[in-house]
Amino acid sequence: MSEQNSLDFNLLVFERMNKGAVILRSHKSSDHEHALYETIYANPCFFEMLNLEPHQVAGRKFFLSEFLDDQQQEQLYRCESEGSATQFESFEPKHKSWHILSVYCPQKPYLVIMIDDITQRRQLEEELAESEETLRMTLDIAGEGLWEWHYDEDLIYHNRRWAKTLGLPEDSGSHELDFFMNHVHPEDVEKVTAIVEEATKTEQPYFSEHRMVLDDGSVIWIEDRGIPVKDKNGKLYRMIGSLTDTTRYKEIQQVLHLEKEIIQSTILSVGDGVITIDIDGKIDIFNPAAEKLTGWKSGEVKGKQIEDYFQLIESDFRDQAYLLELMEADEDAMRLKYGKDNMASLKNREGELIDIYYNFSPIRLPDGATYGYVIVFTDVSEIIEKQKQIEHLSFRDDLTGLYNRHYLKDAMHHLDSKRMLPFTIMVLDLNELKATNDSFGHKEGDRLIQATANMLKNCFRQEDVIARMGGDEFCVLLPNTSAAVAESIKQRILQDSADNHDCKSTLSLSVGYAVKTHEAESIDNTLTQADRNMYQHKWSQRTAD
């Protein structure tokens, strides 16, 4: 203690500190790497923090290399030689703890080291980083436009769907608020600015429905909503939200509004079926288009109940009785129901079902009381059929009826989730297509492709996605399929193709597959590996021949 008393230290201050403190004396050496340091004092907090006893520390001599890395040693040597101070973080592996070491040289050859335990802070930082990474992955695979506004960075991170909605490269990742506001329709900028400012000022949820102008000049409608996020101290530091393209909904809404105005101006419509009923549901007007669609004549139905001659079957299997119930409900309930699309099947006199679009509007008396209703309906069977055909063409290969490349890519990423693991992707190549086209013509080549498609349909489950990628290449997505099962499927395909004699040419396939087993693996890399394995199989077949 005599040596300690000779130093200009107030040890009583160290004794009362809530952080570790230790005083070292340096034993000079020309070589820093072999310089010894001796512990001449440590306060109670030091022993408690490192779980040590006084006899384990007092008078102990050691080399810095036992505890510090090269860079930290250099900092400490510089502090000692210059009589200055430094600070750095250090990890203590025995107790898996992190500390901040604050070092200063009060007088040579002594060093004072103050120790703060920051283990809990580091753990929280790691947990936060892990949570943010999970959020990033969620944003990337989500099916709608999602965003996260970091106030401290003044950046808004978004997922691929958000970027796609606004016509940006899907890998753009983030944007500034000014970028977003610069794309808001000029007529909506003032409104949106006020909504954003109000949401951030009051720390309340944000919602805005407005137009956006894309880089190509096109205009879309969006619904943009967000929820503020506060830290543990109650300070607002982020907002997360979603963006939805409502352009189609807006267009339909405008059409419905126009149709309602037309109904109000004229009950009898040339092209649409129009029926008027009184408050009790008795038919008054039944126009020619309504006669044609239902099969009933006006004279047969006048004065009779609507439910007997206008029978609707909606998608939820409720019939026209539900329609009448809503007609008798209050106006707000009717507006809630009929401000949207109303699609149903109309059961005509012959019992046939016709796809129709329908709407109705109340007939008001001068005093505002409801006298009855006007029902307007249109045959949309042809439109529905065309929509089905368009959907089929957009997702299906014309020649084989299998899914096409576009659908496969979307399905691959939609199915890319933990619950689908192990996830197998199988790539197949038709070996003899060119030879068949050269020898027998493209018609026979098409037959060979179709025979391959038919064989593949029989080899896979209903939930598997089979697609023709183009030309002679096929691809199959097999969720919840292990490598062992995939190998057995491969062998069955090779056997079935060898046994196929429906075409002039031999049905020969090269098959490769790859399996994603961990959530962190890239599904695109799995597809690439499956393609490589297919080419390896093709090469091995050529070598064997």
Residue range of the domain that includes 519: 396-544
Task: Give residue-wise pLDDT tens across range 253-264.
Answer: 888 777 756 655
Q: Same structural domain for residues 63 and 152?
A: no
**Hey, what are 320's tokens?**
């026209």
Residue 436 CB contacts under 8 Å (≥ 6 apart), including other chains:
444, 445, 448, 503, 504, 505
Are both 199 and 293 inside the same structural domain?
no
What's the CATH number where 264 sits?
3.30.450.20
Q: Is residue 126 part of a domain?
A: no
With CA atoms as reference, report the closest residue to 382 among 357, 349, 355, 358: 355
DSSP for 123-190 reads HHHHHHHHHHHHHHHHHHH-SSEEEEEETTTTEEEE-HHHHHHTT--TT--EE-HHHHHHHB-TTTHH
Query: Does residue 250 lie in a domain region?
Result: no
Can you tell me the mean pLDDT for 170-179? 86
Mean pLDDT of 169-180: 86
Burial of 122 (0-12, 13-18, 19+ CB in 10 A): middle
The set of residues, in sequence order, having a beta carbon less than 8 Å from that of 291 and lying 6+ positions away, is: 297, 298
pLDDT at 447: 87
Residues 433 and 506 in one domain: yes
CA distance 60 to 51: 16
Select from 311, 513, 516 the least CA-distant residue to 415.
516
The packing angle between helices 405-414 and 523-544, to 10°, is 130
Separation of alpha carbons 489 and 96, rounded Å: 49
Stretch 82-109: mean pLDDT? 83
Q: What is the mean pLDDT of residues 127-147?
A: 68
* Direct distance between the N- and C-terminal alpha carbons of the chain, in angstroms, rounded to an integer: 90
User: 424 with 538, same domain?
Assistant: yes
Give per-residue pLDDT as tens, 376-410.
Answer: 888 888 887 777 777 666 788 889 989 999 889 98
Answer with the one of 360, 384, 408 that is the final residue of a domain: 384
Q: Give the residues across from 147 on adjacent strands.
A: 158, 241
CA separation, residue 35 to residues 3, 32, 65, 109, 311 (Å): 20, 5, 10, 12, 98
Stretch (H or E) spanning 230: strand 219-230
pLDDT for the residue numbered 439: 76
Residues 282 and 405 in one domain: no
The one-letter amino acid code at 432 reads E
Q: CA–CA separation, 117 vs 18, rounded Å?
A: 10
Q: What is the pLDDT of residues 471-485, one digit of tens each?
A: 899 999 999 999 999
pLDDT of residue 9: 57
On whether residue 122 sits in a domain, the answer given is no
The answer to pTM > 0.75 is no
Considering 384, 409, 444, which residue would you say is the last residue of a domain? 384
Residue 129, domain member (yes or no): no
Q: Band the pLDDT of 527: cuts 50, 70, 90.
A: very high
Overall domain count for the chain: 4
The larger pLDDT score, comparing residue 287 to residue 545, is at 287
Q: How confident is the model at residue 2 (pLDDT cuts 50, 70, 90)?
A: very low
Q: Report d(CA 520, CA 516) in Å as an integer.
A: 9
Helix axes 331-338, 320-327, angle to 10 degrees: 130
Percent of the chain with pLDDT over 70: 86
Kindly indicate the confidence band of residue 426, based on its pLDDT and cuts at 50, 70 and 90: very high
Say yes or no: 239 and 277 in one domain: no
The Cβ-side half-sphere exposure at 60, using a 13 Å CA radius, reads 15
Does a structural domain hold residue 326? yes
**Contact call for residues 344 and 372 (beta carbons, < 8 A):** no
The pLDDT of 71-93, averaged and rounded, is: 82
Mean pLDDT in residue range 173-183: 89
Considering the domain boundaries, does residue 391 fall inside one?
no
d(CA 148, CA 240): 4
According to the model, what pLDDT value does residue 137 have?
63
Q: What is the CATH number of the domain that holds 514?
A: 3.30.70.270
196-203 long-range CB contacts below 8 Å, 24 or more apart?
Answer: 199/226, 199/228, 199/239, 200/228, 200/236, 200/239, 203/228, 203/230, 203/236
Task: Pick the more confident residue, 515 or 2.
Answer: 515
- Residue 82 DSSP label: H
Which helix (H) or strand (E) is 249 found in, with range?
helix 247-265
Residue 317's pLDDT is 39
Whats the size of the chain, residue-wise? 545
> Model confidence over 308-317: pLDDT tens digits?
888 877 544 3
Q: Are 415 and 530 within one domain?
A: yes
What are the pLDDT digits (tens) for 231-282? 888 888 889 898 999 888 888 888 877 775 665 556 555 578 888 888 888 9
pLDDT of the residue at 134:
67
d(C-alpha 214, C-alpha 219), whole Å: 6
Of 245, 264, 295, the one marking the end of a domain is: 245
**How confident is the prediction for the chain on average, in pLDDT?**
82
Mean pLDDT along residues 78-100:
82
Peptide bond into 422 cis (omega under 30): yes
Report the distance separating Cα 179 and Cα 373, nearest Å. Answer: 49
Give CA–CA dist 56/52, Å, rounded.
7
Choose between 366 and 216: higher pLDDT.
216
Long-range contacts (CB closer than 8 Å, 24 or more residues apart) made by 288-292: 290/377
State whether 241 and 265 are in the same domain. Answer: no
Considering the candidates 272, 379, 472, 531, report the single residue annotated as catalytic.
472
Q: Mark whether 411 and 526 lie in a shared domain.
A: yes
Shared domain check, 428 and 292: no
Residue 377's nearest CA partner among 353, 398, 356 is 356
Q: What is the pLDDT of residue 268?
A: 58
Write down the pLDDT at residue 324.
Answer: 56
Q: 1: pLDDT confidence band, cut at 50, 70 and 90?
A: very low
Please determine, for residue 288, whether its predicted confidence score (pLDDT) is greater than 50.
Answer: yes
Q: How far apart, in whole angstroms, are the C-alpha atoms of residue 326 and residue 362?
A: 11
Residue 155 lies in a domain: yes
In this structure, is residue 390 part of a structural domain? no
Surface-to-core class of residue 388, CB atoms within 10 Å of its CB (0-12 exposed, 13-18 middle, 19+ buried): exposed
Q: Label residue 116 exposed, middle or buried (CB < 10 Å: 0-12, 13-18, 19+).
A: middle
Same domain for 270 and 236: no
**pLDDT(334) > 50:** no
Per-residue confidence (pLDDT) for residue 327, from 0 to 100: 56
Q: What is the pLDDT of residue 269?
A: 52
Angle at alpha carbon of residue 135, lines to 130 and 136, rounded to 5°: 95
Residues 372, 491, single domain; the answer is no
Q: Residue 275: phi, psi to the nearest 5? A: -130, 135
Over residues 151-172, the mean pLDDT reads 85
Which residues make Cβ contacts (< 8 Å) with residue 238, sequence separation at least 6?
148, 149, 150, 151, 228, 229
Q: List beta partners, residue 91.
A: 98
Does 278 qualify as catalytic in the annotation? no
* Alpha helix positions (H), 415-522: 433-440, 442-459, 483-498
